[in-house]
Amino acid sequence: MKHRLKACTALAWGNARIVATDKRGRAILTLGYLLGMWLLYYLWQALYAGNDRHAGMSFATALLHVVTAQTLFAILQAFGDWRLAREIRSGEVATALTQPVSLPLRHAALSLGRVLAQAAYFLPAFGVFLLWAGLRLTPSSWLLAIASIMLSFVLLFCIDFVVGLAGFIATDLWGITASKDVVVQFLGGALIPLAFLPAGVQAALYWLPFAHFFNTPVAYLTGQSSDITPLLIQAVWAVLFVLAAHMASRIIQRKLVIFGA
């Protein structure tokens, strides 16, 4: 267990350094992120033109929700599905399967490293945009917010990992991955606040995992919620997702042994 922890720490730190030291790519992503935030500002300003409130939310509240959710998506998007699919296609996964660290744990460490590096350059840009837009975060509890963000990472990683495993049986993952990203953002409350959806849909998403991708951590970060119940539901789904990802990995590895690949 101790050796696995050291190995995972080394993998996470190594991948974080690789991502963080790509200065040109980091600059392009940061500028693209800021451009996207400014476009969101003017889009929501146009939506609220002539009307102070929509779905019980003011312009400032709705904008803060969306830009915070989009920032979380930018940080937590670790591209684990593409990385695993690339390893499968190149045959590198065969070497990975012989390592003492399991395939899911190895990719979780690599994804965590990328997330930490992305946070290092997206968060300052997020702070700049908040100052420019006259917005600020007023979390009801930093403890709940941080715990919820960590659980969101677990949920999103598990989805990416399972989608990546589809590379064993599919030749092209672009359509699957693109559809996954749209569903995660829309039903997770990253594209529009879930308050804009019908009440019945909101209630269903609350008990399903979707609302806990982004809506739950954003609600804690922006002070919209201080109730611990959503966090507990999110934790239950995180455990179920981890078990599902582990089971999917074992099934796929059995097939690899059966077919001798």
- Read off the pLDDT of residues 121-149 as tens digits, 9 standing for 90 and up: 899 999 999 999 999 999 988 999 999 99
Q: What percent of the chain has pLDDT over 90?
A: 59
**What's the pLDDT tens digit per position in 166-203?**
877 776 778 888 889 999 999 999 999 999 999 999 99
CA distances from 186 to 1, 55, 197, 228 (A): 38, 17, 10, 23
pLDDT of the residue at 26: 84
Higher pLDDT, 214 or 252: 214
Q: Residue 256: what pLDDT? A: 59
**Other beta carbons within 10 Å of 41:** 18
Name the residue with higher pLDDT: 171 or 237: 237
- Contact criterion met (CB below 8 Å) for 211 and 189: yes
User: What per-residue confidence (pLDDT) applies to 88?
Assistant: 81
Q: What is the pLDDT of residue 260?
A: 45
Residue 85 CB partners (closer than 8 Å, separation 6+): 164, 166, 167, 173
Mean pLDDT score of the chain: 89
Question: What local confidence, expressed as pLDDT, does residue 259 receive?
Answer: 44
Locus of tokens 């089971």: 247
Q: Of all residues in the chain, what percent carry a pLDDT higher than 70? A: 97
What does the pLDDT read at residue 255?
Answer: 64
Least trusted range by pLDDT, from 58-62, 114-118, 253-257: 253-257
Which of 100 and 133 is assigned the larger pLDDT?
133
Q: Across the chain, which distance is largest between two alpha carbons, in Å? A: 65
Q: What is the pLDDT of residue 18?
A: 85
Per-position b or e across 102-123, b if 16+ CB within 10 A of its CB: bbbbbbbbbbbbbbbbbbebbe
CB within 8 Å of 10: residues ≥ 6 apart: none
Model confidence at 27: pLDDT above 70: yes
The pLDDT of 114-126, averaged and rounded, is: 94
Question: Which two structure tokens, joined as six digits, stand for 229?
Answer: 């119940």
Structure tokens at 215: 């809506």
5-14 long-range contacts, CB within 8 A, separation 24+: 7/100, 7/101, 7/109, 8/101, 8/105, 8/106, 8/108, 8/109, 9/109, 11/101, 11/106, 11/109, 11/110, 11/113, 12/109, 12/110, 12/112, 12/113, 12/116, 13/113, 14/113
For the stretch 70-91, pLDDT in tens is 999 999 999 988 888 888 878 7
pLDDT of the residue at 71: 96
> What's the mean pLDDT in 65-71?
96
